[in-house]
Amino acid sequence: MSLISGKTRVCGVIGDPIEHTMSPVMHNAAFKKLGIDYWYVPFRVKKEELGRAVAGMRALNIRGLNVTIPHKVAIIPFLDKLDPLAEKIGAVNTIVNDDGILTGYNTDATGFLQALLEKRVKPEGKTIVILGAGGASKGISFTLAGRGASLVILNRRLERAEDLAQRISQVSKNEVKALTLSEENLAMVLAKADILINTTSVGMIPDIDKTPVPARLLKSGLVVFDIVYNPVKTRLLREAEAAGAKTLICGIEMLVWQGALAFEQWTGQKAPLELMREEAIKALGHEN
Ligand code: ATR
């Protein structure tokens, strides 16, 4: 890595906790590869310090920040402008600082879509089952509804799924249903589904032997996307593969794409996607 100079521009990520982030290795490797004089650092920012952190970003002229849990929604009032997609979703994961004007983007949602399209999966006209109704589901659900898919959102707490479905139906003509996440409902909706997306944390380390969907409900022909990236291949993906599902998309793809799209916003250059993927996988290997 080249040394930091007087011209080095700083990017980073704010969140709490932050120790397990993969973003610094992905971005610093990408800056180095392209010979861009940028540096990416993690900042642990507590909830009550968020406003002061944004003021610090302005004062220190930090070029860009990623925003992660728990700040993706709370950050919005501190920004000057919002990209229309981030506004619709109501969450921001990337900030760009253009001479003191801070604009918020949601590259989680566009990154998710890129990961799908890269596998040649087209959401238009498909029936998509989405597990979970939290922050990650919100971005994904809005993006897919905007692409002409019919959605069924299943969540442990039904009221969150209903609330999300209602907000999506205000901006989309496609069908959006909400159901409780139960085995019975899964059996009913998966029988007619084209794509299954897990946005819950079920199956994430340390609970790697858990899965949100019983194996017997998985079938060949179903496209399965699990946004959990640690482990890279979750139990859900392993069982889907065993059931003959051909297109499996790991959460690491979304992670890499959201990073690549943020990188492009900050630098104006095309991100070295393959290198970022390799670095993220390597860093995950060190974690486990
Ligand atoms: P994120 O921003 O990562 O989506 P979140 O907003 O906390 O995080 O949402 C987590 C999602 O995982 C929610 O849909 C949550 O269900 P509830 O809304 O009912 O809490 C879901 N989830 C977490 N643990 C779960 C479990 N053990 N079983 C089923 N769903 C679970």
- pLDDT digits 0-9 by tens, 228-265: 999 999 999 999 999 999 899 999 999 999 999 999 99
Neighbours of 253 (CB within 10 A): 23
Q: Which has more pLDDT, 286 or 35?
A: 35
Q: How far apart are CA 209 and CA 31, in angstroms?
A: 37
Specify if 40 maps to a domain. Answer: yes
Residue 285: what pLDDT?
84
Percent of the chain exceeding pLDDT 90 equals 95
Specify if 261 maps to a domain. Answer: yes
Specify if 1 maps to a domain. Answer: no
Check whether residue 247 and residue 121 sit in a common domain. yes
Check whether residue 205 and residue 272 sit in a common domain. no
Question: Which residues are CB-neighbours of 137 under 8 A, at least 6 positions away?
Answer: 130, 131, 153, 155, 164, 199
Specify if 44 maps to a domain. Answer: yes
Q: 233 by DSSP, 3-state: which?
A: coil
What is the number of structural domains in the chain? 2
Structure tokens belonging to residue 3: 């040394």
Write the CATH number for 22. Answer: 3.40.50.10860
Residue 179: what pLDDT?
98
Specify if 227 maps to a domain. Answer: yes
Mean pLDDT of 17-38: 96
Domain span holding position 65: 9-106+253-287
Whether 1 shows a pLDDT value over 60: the answer reads: no
Check whether residue 278 and residue 260 sit in a common domain. yes
Write the CATH number for 243. Answer: 3.40.50.720
Check whether residue 268 and residue 188 sit in a common domain. no
State which ligand 1 atom lies nearest to the alpha carbon of 210.
27
What's the 132 CA to ligand 1 centre distance in angstroms? 6
Check whether residue 152 and residue 275 sit in a common domain. no
Check whether residue 63 and residue 185 sit in a common domain. no
Specify if 3 maps to a domain. Answer: no
88 given a catalytic annotation: no
For the chain, how far is it from start to end, CA to CA, in angstroms? Answer: 25
Residue 246: what pLDDT?
86
Residues with Cβ within 6 A of ligand 1? Answer: 132-137, 155-157, 160, 181, 199-202
Structure tokens belonging to residue 112: 């998710």
Specify if 4 maps to a domain. Answer: no
Specify if 2 maps to a domain. Answer: no
As a whole number, the mean pLDDT across the chain is: 95
